[in-house]
């Protein structure tokens, strides 16, 4: 997914707990779903940033040869300005863009 085009806020906002409850049916389950999705997003962003910065990787022979690369700094700043993974995950959850299921609930329904 392209997280650069998300409409998630870049700063923390107060959320209506009733909206989280309405989407998941249980506030705690909703928070767990958001947390798990935030971990997925975080890992994806980390891998993407790592692969982009790998292009600039040079291995100097000694510590004195370390230099700054302007493009590398700009890439890092861009990723710092993106919304945090928890904000992206919360926005996705509220917009019904996350598919989730609870296998324990499905088992209990099938037994009844």
Considering only CA atoms, which of 23, 48, 44, 43 is closest in space to residue 33? 23
| pLDDT tens figures, 5-60 | 777 877 777 888 888 888 777 888 889 999 999 999 999 999 998 888 888 766 66
Half-sphere exposure of 36 (CA within 13 A, CB side): 10
Write down the pTM of the prediction.
Answer: 0.76
Q: How far is CA 34 from CA 4, 48, 91, in A?
A: 19, 21, 9
**Whether 19 contacts 94, CB under 8 Å:** yes
Give the model's pLDDT for residue 54: 84
> At residue 74, does pLDDT exceed 80?
yes
Percent of the chain residues past pLDDT 90, beyond the cut: 19
């Amino acid at each position: 997914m392209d997280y650069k085009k998300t409409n998630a806020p870049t700063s923390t906002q107060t959320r209506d707990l009733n909206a989280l409850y309405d989407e998941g049916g249980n506030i705690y389950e909703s928070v767990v779903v958001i947390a798990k999705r935030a971990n997925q997003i975080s890992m994806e962003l980390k891998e993407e940033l790592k692969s982009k910065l790998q292009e600039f990787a040079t291995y100097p022979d000694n510590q004195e040869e370390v230099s700054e690369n302007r493009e590398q700094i700009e890439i890092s700043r861009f990723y710092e300005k993106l919304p945090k993974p928890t904000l992206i995950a919360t926005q996705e959850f509220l917009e019904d863009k996350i598919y989730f299921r609870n296998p324990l609930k499905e088992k209990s329904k099938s037994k009844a």
